[in-house]
Amino acid sequence: MDIIKIVFQVLLVLTSVLLTLFILLHKGRGGGLSDMFGGGIAQSAGSSGVAEENLNRLTLIIALLWLVSVVIIGVIDKLIV
């Protein structure tokens, strides 16, 4: 049971970092972090709608993996106690 918990904790850390990065990559609606990290450049270069849709899908998948790992870690903690 400890190995499964460690695996899901590692998954939680990885998905947390990826989720943060993917959210920062989204196109901004005015000023904000995405403009600070180059979002304004992508707007002037004419970013693709397909790329934005793929980023949305990938962000959603990572968010679901994050949610599942949090729930599983919580269930494992309840079972151990």
Confidence grade of residue 38 (pLDDT, cut at 50, 70, 90): low
> What pLDDT score does 5 carry?
93
Buried b (16+ CB within 10 A) or exposed e, 36-70: eeebeebeeeeeeeeeeeebeeebeebeebbeebe
Mean pLDDT of 14-33: 84
Give the total number of structural domains in the chain: 1
Contact between 65 and 11 under an 8 Å Cβ cutoff? The reply is yes
CB 48 within 8 A of CB 68: no
Per-residue pLDDT at 39 exceeds 60 = no
Please state the pTM of the whole predicted model.
0.74
